Structure formats: C-alpha cells, structure tokens
Amino acid sequence: MPSIVQELSGRRKLGGLRTVVECPFKATVLREGPAQDSGAGAAWLAFLCPVHTVDLDGWPGAADHGDNGTMPCGTVLDYRPAEGRLQSHADLWLTPLTGVNPAAYGGRWSEVLDQADRVLLARVEEATAVGEDSPLQNMLAMMDVARRAAARGELGVAATSLGYCERLAQGL
C-alpha cells in the first residue's frame, strides 16, 4: 500500500527539499500543495505543527492531512520543476529582500540571479564601509553558486543553492 506521500506526490521524483520555518516541533499536519501544472500529484507537501498550520503565509494548500510526526515542522518536499522552485524562492524571499523581480527578466534566471547577487553584494559592501557586519554576507557564497549554476543552465542546482539562502533569509 503506498504511503500518503507517494499518493499525494503522484509518485513523482522529488525535486527539492526545503525547510521553510525554523521550528523545534514535529509535524502534526501534512499540507498538500496545489496540483502540478501537468500530470498527477501535488506541487509540494509541507509538514507543519499546529502553530505553523495557521500562520505559514505563502504556502496555501489544497488540503491538510493528519501526520504523526514523521518530519520536523517546516519540512517541504517540493515536486515542482526547477523553474517552479526558483519562482517560489523569488515570491517568498528573494524579491522582497533584493527588489529583483523575475518578470522583468522574462524567465532568464541567470540574469535574475546575477542582479540579485549584485544587490546583496552592494548591501554587504555598504555595511562594511560603515564598520558593520551584514547578515547578508553569509548568503553571498551560495548566491554565487546559484548564479553560476543558472548561467550553465543547471536550474535545479540553482534552486537547491537558494534553499540555503532561504534559511538564512528567515533570520533577517
């Protein structure tokens, strides 16, 4: 008998693993994301505790299912293609943090990430110039990996690198 994760994912290959909240609790709810654009299965599955089931903005689901603590709260199994994962990063934290809107670049993720990297670097340099440490400093290495991967057409690698940046952005 297939597990609920297998059923809800449509047995699709996992595209990414993300942690969208920092929470010490185990999940009590498995939130099923919207359906994939093509084919069977949910776009993503999020494991949430009772608190985050209520207040996790940006992750509205199609349905919630009970969970018995199989994953930590905030774990997201992402089944979207790389472009969908990149857009999710942009929507949730990259555009709010940098002001870089992917729509302005017509889906050219290498250009989006180049510009976002320039914005972050400029902010770090501004902080350094006045003798301050910037928490954005920690993002620069992984943003560079994402930028270079996107330039090579490796959007999955870019999305994975942005997952690390997403965790850092949560602390800002």
What distance in Å separates the CA atoms of residue 2 and residue 40, rounded to the nearest whole number?
15
With the C-alpha atoms ordered 164, 110, 90, 118, is the resulting torsion angle positive or negative? positive
Average pLDDT over residues 7-23: 81
pLDDT at 56: 66
Predicted local distance difference test score (pLDDT) of residue 58:
63
Buried b / exposed e over 31-56, threshold 16 CB at 10 Å, is: bbbeebeeeebbbbbbbbbeebbeeb
Percent of the chain with pLDDT over 90: 40
β-pair partners for 35: 42
Reported as a single tens digit per residue, the pLDDT across 89-128 is 999 899 999 999 999 999 899 999 999 999 999 999 998 8
In single-letter form, the type of residue at position 78 comes to D
Tell the residue number behind the tokens 């297939």, with chain if given.
Answer: 2
Q: pLDDT value at position 31?
A: 87
The span from the CA of 100 to the CA of 16, in Å, is 23
Q: What is the pTM of this model?
A: 0.85
Q: What is the CATH number of domain 82-170?
A: 1.20.120
Q: Pull the structure tokens for residue 52.
A: 């985050």
- Sorted by where each begins, the domain ranges of the chain are 4-78, 82-170
